[in-house]
Amino acid sequence: MKVGFVTLIGRANAGKSTLLNHILKVPISSVSPREQTTRNRITGVFTKEDYQIVFLDTPGITNKKIKLKQLLNASAKGSMQMVDTIIYLIDSKKFFIDDEILSLLRASKKDVICLLNKVDLINKGKLLPMMEQLSQFEFIKEIIPISALKEKNLDEFLNTVNGYLSEGEFLYPPEYISGNPEKFIMAEIIKGAIFNNTNKELPYSAAVHVDLLEEKKHIIKIYANIYVERDSQKAIIIGKGGSKIKDIGIYSRKLLQDIFQKKFLIKLFVKVKKNWQKDEKFLKMLGYTE
């Protein structure tokens, strides 16, 4: 058997969470058209008969300097040191030679597999010049065009990663899809539901913390707080007559029931926590650590 750790690195909104979710066939990582919906390292576990890949999905690297953004960047960069192989994901629609990320990849001294994502959305004639530019970097060992959303070339990608794994026993039982605690996955799903059911007024301003989890034989009860920075944002999440918070709960419940194969009862509470993105103690409580 073979096993190994890999990390997904790339700019915000390159499609890292979409890739992980489609590989695992369940949405354990928040997906949204907005940047920076992944804020923690998400551990996804993919197991075949004879190999196991442990994925670290990381926040997209950004140049913004608010405290939360600094923690996101530290998380992404730090994960490079924790793994055997790095997966560098590029949005082919916005392709450019990214000197900042490439310098980090070179400094890591790890093998890099480069994925050109969203190739279903570009002119095929643009693909070869992109690959030729990337092939100049000696640390990039493989370049694979994919579409994470359409699941194009994902089997080729997984087979390629298998070639970089080491011999060893599986780290997780074959039925595992994540090494994250259940509360973490639940908060991540609720956070994704918020981003997918609200307007652009909430790009970074919502955080989720699962305060209480009651698990019974046939049902799981979740009591979770949604934190925002302003009363106006609280009103957006609640919606007219509570319509929006109801939609968020329904959306979350469906995804969680698909993942855990149990019924869910979700109680959501919206609270205002001003400037929470700059509050180090609060960020640590949410699990955002350097």
How many H helices and E strands in the chain?
Answer: 9, 10
Q: What percent of the chain has pLDDT over 70?
A: 82
DSSP-based three-state secondary structure for 215: strand
Helix (H) or strand (E) holding 132: helix 127-134
Q: How many CA atoms lie within 13 A of 223 on its CB side?
A: 5
pLDDT tens track for 140-162: 999 999 999 999 999 999 999 99
Average pLDDT along the chain: 83
Instruction: State the pTM of this model.
Output: 0.64
Separation of alpha carbons 214 and 155, rounded Å? 38
List, in order of start, the domains of the chain with CATH numbers. 2-167 (3.40.50.300), 182-286 (3.30.300.20)
pLDDT-derived band at 201, boundaries 50, 70, 90: low
The token pair that represents 127 in the structure block: 């693909």
Does residue 36 surpass a pLDDT of 50?
no
Say if strands 207-215 and 85-91 run parallel, antiparallel, or are unpaired: unpaired
Separation of alpha carbons 188 and 31, rounded Å? 10
- Which residues have a Cβ under 8 Å from the Cβ of 250 and sit 6 or more positions away? none
pLDDT of residue 31: 45
Separation of alpha carbons 208 and 187, rounded Å? 6
| Cβ neighbours around 261 below 10 Å, total | 7
pLDDT of residue 47: 93
Residue located via tokens 């490439």: 102
Does residue 176 surpass a pLDDT of 50?
yes
pLDDT-derived band at 200, boundaries 50, 70, 90: low
| Cβ neighbours around 140 below 10 Å, total | 19
Task: State whether the Cα torsion 277-280-286-290 is positive or negative.
Answer: positive
pLDDT of residue 144: 97
Separation of alpha carbons 266 and 13, rounded Å? 28
Select from 265, 267, 268 the least CA-distant residue to 257: 265
